[in-house]
Chain A
């Protein structure tokens, strides 16, 4: 009885094993139906993707065309704007260089200490004058220059504000009270020559121009006059011009006197 049971059980287990292996094998192997289903599914997916890709390609081509058109329009508007000034490429370049030079100059001045800036204050006026000259050009209306000019003007305004600080001039400008000729030999030349003033007689036009309110003729100053002594530094353009005018006038007067 026991033997019978063992044999039957063994055969049954063997049969089940065969069935299990067969089923696993069937699961790994694709059936024809499954193949057909996948073929159908992937074909549909492929067709759909092809259609999407075709639409995307169309969209991309259309967008490329829009972009090219916009690029042309931008170039056209910019070119029209440039043409409004009627300036040649050379003038455009020269204007750019001139503006760059002023920008560099303003930058240098803005790095100076208040004292050094004060000594070169005439340069701020000169810078402003040259910028005003550039502003007259039609090219100044172009956006690329207009914005730079505005920025430069702001910088010059800052320099002017520094120079206009109430304490600045008071702290740096000296004064000199004119003595008598008999005792002090004071004239603008001699005052300028003094070690405590400029230690350089050729700087006399600086005292003259710094005191235009009280000196009409630089040959005539009066004892007791309190003269402002501008900060030392090279003669400014205005001071040089004033000096030239003075010498021309003097020369003419001498010629007239010798002719009489």
Chain B
């Protein structure tokens, strides 16, 4: 019976030791909130970057179209000048 008790105590001590060893310091609620706030700031920035990238791509498209329009307008002006010369 003594042996049984000893073995039982040994097991309980071992388990307690393991439990104590598994514990370590964890962040406070304030620190966790700080992390959450940082995460949401990053998510918001990612969205803003994506929107800016889309805006930039759209502007680049508009610029390409406008450059083509300018080239055409200049071509038209040259052609008009030539036609007016030939009318005279």
Contacts and interface: CB of A to CB of B under 8 A. Distances in A.
Nearest to A143: B76
A19 B22 contact: yes
Interface stretch (A58-66, A98-106, A108-116, A230-238): A58-66
A60 B55 contact: yes
Interface string A49-64: 1101100110110011
A8 B4 contact: yes
Interface in B35-74: 35, 38-39, 41-42, 45-46, 48-49, 52-53, 55-56, 59-60, 62-63, 66-67, 69-70, 73-74
State which size class the interface on A falls in.
35 or more
Contacts of A12: 11
Contacts of A67: 59, 62-63, 66
Interface in A19-75: 19, 22-23, 26, 29-32, 35, 38-39, 42-43, 45-46, 49-50, 52-53, 56-57, 59-60, 63-64, 66-67, 70-71, 73-74
Q: Tell me whether chain B's interface is mostly helix, strand or loop, or mixed.
A: helix
Contact of B48 (A3, A16, A45, A53): A53
Nearest to A25: B22
Interface string B65-88: 011011001101101110110010
Contact of A70 (B12, B32, B67): B67
Contact of A81 (B26, B70, B80): B80
B19 to A, nearest CB: 5
Contact of A84 (B14, B15, B23, B84): B84
6 A-B pairs with least C-beta separation: A15-B15, A141-B83, A49-B45, A56-B52, A35-B27, A63-B59
25 contacts: A4-B3, A8-B4, A8-B8, A11-B12, A12-B11, A14-B15, A15-B18, A16-B15, A18-B19, A23-B22, A26-B22, A35-B26, A35-B32, A43-B38, A46-B42, A53-B48, A53-B49, A56-B53, A60-B52, A60-B56, A81-B77, A81-B80, A84-B77, A140-B87, A143-B80
